[in-house]
Amino acid sequence: MRLREGIDITKSMVKSLNEEDEVATDNQYMEKLKSLMDQLSEEGTALEKDVLDDQYDEVDDYETPQDFLEHLCDLHIADGSVTSMIYYDDTLAFLEKHEDEINELLSELLKEVGGSFKDLFGDNYDDTDPMNIGTSNKNLFAWFGYEEIARNLAYKLNELGDFNANI
């Protein structure tokens, strides 16, 4: 009986050590992710830098880089998940600051898929504001810029870090 207890204790210890190794590995991967985010923030555009800086503290809420990268790909600012982009004052300031980059993103997307803003954004686009000077469409474009860059950054981070995220 004592031998059996000893084997069970040893198995338990090995399992515990393996779990600690996995935690250490996850921590190392998370540090690697943060390091890559820092690197991209320094080398990236102003829009990329702001999105990365905004999301940097969010990393600690996730256990693995894969979880965080999936979060970046699935951002839906309209649901309030990005606290820096909840109020019109925030989104309009963001758009004003990054207007050229967001305009370039929109232009590239329109060339790629064709159509109009209404085709791209559906009912979210206010077609009673064809010059896009109203708050609603400006807000929509700010959200688009943030979400599109977040997705692009997730793909870059996944590739650079070899995280094998399912994104």
Q: pLDDT, tens digit, for every residue of 14-36?
A: 344 344 445 547 788 899 999 99
Average pLDDT over residues 47-62: 93
Cα distance between residue 14 and residue 21, in whole Å: 10
Query: Among 2, 1, 24, which residue's Cα sits nearest to residue 16?
Result: 24
Token code pair at residue 81: 């998940």
Q: pLDDT, tens digit, for every residue of 73-125?
A: 998 888 888 999 999 999 999 999 999 999 999 999 999 999 999 999 999 99
pLDDT of residue 7: 39
Average pLDDT over residues 125-135: 95
Domain boundaries, the chain: 29-161
Cα distance between residue 87 and residue 89, in whole Å: 5
- Contact assessment for residue 45 and residue 17, using Cβ atoms and an 8 Å cutoff: no
DSSP string, 118-164: HHHHGGGS-TT-TT--SHHHHHHHHHHHHHHHHHHHHHHHHHHHT--
Cα distance between residue 145 and residue 121, in whole Å: 13
Cα distance between residue 119 and residue 96, in whole Å: 24
- Write down the mean pLDDT value for the chain: 86
DSSP string, the chain: -HHHHHHHHHHHHHHHHHHHHHHHHHHHHHHHHHHHHHHHHHHS-HHHHHHHHHHHGGGGG-SSHHHHHHHHHT--GGGT-SGGGSSHHHHHHHHHHTHHHHHHHHHHHHHHH-S-HHHHHGGGS-TT-TT--SHHHHHHHHHHHHHHHHHHHHHHHHHHHT-----
Q: pLDDT, tens digit, for every residue of 139-153?
A: 999 999 999 999 999
